[in-house]
Amino acid sequence: METHSDDSKIFKKDFSEYGQILAIEISPFVLSQDLILIGFETKVLLGHLKIDEQVLDLEILAEFVHPSRCCALSVSPETSISILPNNILFAAAGADHKLRVFKSNLRGEDLCKVLGDHTSYINDTKFDPDNNFLASVSDDNTAKLWETEDFKCVTTLQLTSPGVSVCWHKEDSSKLLVAEKIGLIRFYNVETQTPILSLDYGKPLSNAHWAPSDSQVVASLQLGELLIWDLSKPCIPVNNNLLFTEAGGHVRFSPFGELVAAVNNLDSTLKVVHVQNNQPKLTVSVTLPSNISWHCRCPIICVGDYMTLSFWKVTSK
């Protein structure tokens, strides 16, 4: 087992002046791959990661006022600082049941649009790879689609339980993954708004993720058990691994799909395992973890650990 102590992190940064780190998102898109969002009680920070061999640094580019406790973050594929003018577009979910879409050129021209159609906590939100829609799921037993032209809600999907995760895939943006707390994972056709496939393990689900490298592979975390699903054989998971003794947590595939990471608040542990053989690659204690985010091209994983943003390099070899 590869176990990394706090002393062997490749980078960590203290954010105690802002309070607890509640949500993070490293951009999953190549155009903005080194940008990171960090959500707090009253602010969202935009940072730029500087990665060079084993060296990593973080520069804060902007602060955005967010008047409610941040629950989830999503970067738009249109976001870029590589060409002028800068174009920053992201969504933040708040504990006040509202989505806020922020647009900025990083030169003082900031806009914020408030989307208030949900009636309970928003657990996840994601832009699709073509920037046509923003999806969100909530404790109000709905998934919603917002068109990005004017951010009007164009679709409401009625769920059987609270929605906990929502995912798109770059290989087919016409399909949407929605995971429910009851344990169901459904794939919807966005155009017809109908479910086309479902996965059900019969146990409550805390989080799910669609492997960015393979549209046939999904991971879910259900009562501490990590499940790997092959959509070509959807009846039962192809792999299961009990990672935590407590329920809850977040799960994320690495950018190339060979590793999967999971973190559990009650267990206070971050674990990374190999997808094929369950071999542990990283096990580390965390105090009060946020969600997990991987860099989209480097084997670097990031977690907000109470008031510290921590990074590890984890390889499959």
Q: What is the CATH number of the domain that holds 50?
A: 2.130.10.10
Structure tokens at 66: 């967010």
Residue 246 is classified by DSSP as S
Find the domain containing 113 and state its range.
6-313
Dihedral in degrees, nearest 10, Cα atoms 168, 171, 173, 174: -120
Domain-embedded: residue 156: yes
| pTM for this predicted structure | 0.95
Is residue 173 within 8 Å of 130, Cβ to Cβ?
yes
What gap in Å lies between CA 76 and CA 80, rounded to an integer? Answer: 9
Structural domains counted in the chain: 1
* Per-residue tens of pLDDT for the chain, all 317 residues: 344 444 447 899 999 999 999 999 999 999 999 999 999 999 999 999 999 876 789 999 999 999 999 999 999 999 999 988 999 999 999 999 999 999 999 998 899 999 999 999 999 999 999 999 999 999 999 999 999 999 999 999 999 999 999 999 999 999 999 999 999 999 999 999 999 999 999 999 999 999 999 999 999 999 999 999 999 999 899 999 999 999 999 999 999 999 999 999 999 999 999 999 999 999 999 999 999 999 999 999 999 999 999 999 999 88
What gap in Å lies between CA 268 and CA 310, rounded to an integer? Answer: 14
Is residue 258 within 8 Å of 299, Cβ to Cβ?
no
Domain-embedded: residue 203: yes
Domain-embedded: residue 253: yes
